[in-house]
Amino acid sequence: MATEGKKVDPVDELVGILDLERIEVDRFRGFTPPSRSIRIFGGQVISQALVSACRTVDGPICHSLHAYFIRPGNPEVPILYEVDRARDGKSFATRRVIAIQNGEQIFNLAASFHTKEEGFDHQQDMPDVPAPEDLTSEAEQRLSMAQQLPEPMKSAFMAEQPIDIRSVKPQNIINPQKLDPENFTWIKLKKRVAADDQHTHHTILAYASDMSLLDTCVRPHGVNFFKGAQMASLDHAMWFHGDFRADEWLLYVQESPKASNGRGMNFGRIYRRDGVLIATVAQEGLIRPYKSKR
């Protein structure tokens, strides 16, 4: 946990919350960083649950996860992660993880692990987009808009994130415009981490994968979390296809084929900079229209 009054590097903070406390063989305790004071970020619970599952597997690497958000989490209360070792086979292992606060499930996750093997190989090509060095970071965009917000909202709006996000066609966060339901975004951990194992980079990417995907389905409607819509992730699925580092640039191709009945559907493909597709993501979220917060 952060020392009161001392600024904590956001990458160190992320790495810290992923270092779960083991309190029993298959039980772990996770915490929320002080920078989160309103509610727990969905990507945090996904990544912490995946860490719990990974710590009970010896050898195989996660190739898929499927998760449901059940209740909003309280950032002031520790999260208990209980792992069920559903199966350990010769090639595959399966784990189920339940996240609990105050005796109630707030989230559950199923993850499958696979021992690497040779097989058929093909992929959808990476789109041709501008390089991340030629784009403005989301942090810089937020800095330029901060003065338009009332004082109570500024600190949350300007909270430093561990992930550098650079959108090819960014949305105006304060006054969102109607845009196509797609978004091409470069993402990268803001500084290099010492860990080389894929478990670590999978959990960091799982965290980052929830940072902008749900925004895709509200782009055609000219609303967002700050203005015009109540938004919350309902479920999250992710498939890992190959090796990568989360501290190197990855292109997150996001698109939304449908929104209806107060829900929006989103899909994502994540590529290494050399064009290799390393992950696929799917998420449905709650997107209820309501009057502006401002």
Q: What digits encode the pLDDT tens for the residues 89-130?
A: 999 999 999 999 999 999 999 999 999 999 999 999 999 999
User: Which tokens in the block code for residue 193?
Assistant: 């981490």
Active-site residue (options: 164, 210, 215, 247): 210
Do residues 189 and 211 make contact, with C-beta atoms less than 8 angstroms apart?
no
Is 283 marked active-site? yes
Beta bridge partners of 250: 187, 272
The answer to pTM > 0.85 is yes
CA distance 25 to 273: 39
Q: Could you count the other beta carbons within 10 Å of the beta carbon of residue 164?
A: 18
User: Which tokens in the block code for residue 109?
Assistant: 């996750």
Look at strands 250-260 and 182-189 and give their pairing. antiparallel
Q: Which residues neighbour 206 within 8 Å (Cβ) at sequence distance 6 or greater? A: 43, 46, 47, 50, 65, 238
User: Which tokens in the block code for residue 133?
Assistant: 């060095």
CA distance 211 to 252: 11
Predicted pLDDT at 35: 72
Nearest to 221 by CA among 179, 183, 256, 262: 179
Each residue's pLDDT, cut to its tens digit, for the chain (294 residues) gives: 444 456 789 999 999 999 999 999 999 999 998 876 678 999 999 999 999 999 999 999 999 999 999 999 999 999 999 999 999 999 999 999 999 999 999 999 999 999 999 999 999 999 999 999 999 998 888 777 767 666 666 666 667 899 999 999 998 888 889 999 999 999 999 999 998 999 999 999 999 999 999 999 999 999 988 788 899 999 999 999 999 999 999 999 999 999 999 999 999 999 999 999 999 999 999 999 986 444
Active-site residue (options: 47, 48, 141, 233): 233
CA distance 123 to 257: 20
Do residues 234 and 286 make contact, with C-beta atoms less than 8 angstroms apart?
yes
Q: Roughly what angle, to the nearest 10 degrees, separates helices 198-208 and 42-54?
A: 160
Nearest to 227 by CA among 235, 215, 210: 215
